[in-house]
Amino acid sequence: MKDLLAVEHLSRDEIERILDRAESFAEVGRRDIKKVPTLRGRTILNLFYEASTRTLSSFEIAAKRLSADVHSIKAAGSAVDKGESLKDTVATLSAYDPAAIVIRSPHAGAAEMVSRWTEASVINAGDGKHEHPSQALLDLYTLRAGVGSLEGKRIWIVGDVLHSRVARSCLLAFNAMGAEVTLAGPPTLIPRGIEALGVDVAYDLDRLGEADVVYTLRMQMERMSESYVPSLREYAMRYQIDSRRLGPRQLLMHPGPVNRGVELAPEVIDSAQSLITTQVESGLVVRMAILYEVLAGQDRPSVRAAAEPVTDPPTIGQPA
């Protein structure tokens, strides 16, 4: 696999291969020296045009644990502030012959465009409302550890589905692994016709009790150009997950960042049923597995690299 652009391009076998590899990296993370030489000498560039805490930090740490050289560029403070286009930015960064570019953009399709402008592998770290594939993979990894097989499991995705790239990637990923997905939220925040993707839709939480997993979404105010709900208070009254709505056997997930008191009540965020911190932990090993998949899993040296000395074969499990 050269690029990771979208869950919609992944087969179930590819998903399972990445999750299996993430498990072996979890073992590396339990060692005193949490570093392997797999990507020694490779350069990874993180290009983030939107804010991020979890995705950016975990891709950075993942690259370092694989011994890659990593550099992160945020739009604010870069030449983007002077009007440089995405295409010119990618051409500039490609001059350093990176092995991979990890890109987050507010524009749907940006990662796919970047993949056409560079020889580097491209990983989509979130493109507008389109997809956030590494989030969906880390959520699958978290659930595999928490509930085992997803075959026949009922997962409710609750909240602002309309603006959520996480919802789109997750529903595709959960469906691919055999789960039954229901999308729930106000009619204004559920895209029309989304049932065509093989999901159920609910406009209230009356049947929430049937869910094995409740996956909540952030209200994405920054993407809302108009008012989709009468008020956040009213939204919270109808859709907030609190200790009355979350049953004792249900697991709770959220991709973060959480708007405390809006989509989630504080008592469930910090409850034993919450997998939110586990999701963050999973992000590191899954992103190591993604970098491995697109870089060590390929036989695709760049034109310049072909003239350079042969490096060590990719290995998992040896300390750097």
Say how far apart CA 24 and CA 140 lie, in whole Å. 16
Contacts with ligand CP by CB under 6 A lie at 52-55, 126, 135, 255-257
State the Cα–Cα distance between residues 125 and 48, nearest whole angstrom: 8
Q: Which is nearer to ligand CP, 135 or 182 (CB)?
A: 135
Tell me which amino acid residue 193 is: G
In angstroms, rounded to a whole number, what is the distance separating the alpha carbons of residues 14 and 18?
6
Q: How far is the CB of 283 from ligand CP (least distance, A)?
A: 8
**Shortest distance, position 205 Cβ to ligand CP, whole Å:** 23
**Residues linked to residue 39 through DSSP beta bridges, in sequence order:** none
Closest contact distance (angstroms) between CB of 298 and ligand CP is: 25
Query: Which amino acid is located at 257 in the chain?
Result: P
- What SS3 class is residue 163? coil
What minimum distance in Å lies between the beta carbon of 138 and ligand CP? 9
Q: How big, in percent rounded to 5, are the helix, strand and coil portions of the chain? A: 40, 15, 45
Strand partners, 104: 48
Residue (52 or 282) nearer to ligand CP, CB: 52
Q: Which helix (H) or strand (E) holds 280?
A: helix 276-291
* Nearer CB in complex with ligand CP: 15/170: 170
Least distance (Å) between residue 320 CB and ligand CP? 26
Residue keyed to tokens 């008191």: 261
Distances (CA, A) of 146 to 15, 81, 143: 17, 43, 5
CB of 57 to ligand CP, least distance (A): 8
Q: How far is the CB of 76 from ligand CP (least distance, A)?
A: 15
Closest CB to ligand CP among residues 54, 153? 54
Class of residue 241 by CB neighbours under 10 A (exposed 0-12, middle 13-18, buried 19+): buried
Of 21 and 54, the one with the shorter C-beta distance to ligand CP is 54
Element housing 154 (H / E):
strand 154-158
Q: Which is nearer to ligand CP, 118 or 135 (CB)?
A: 135
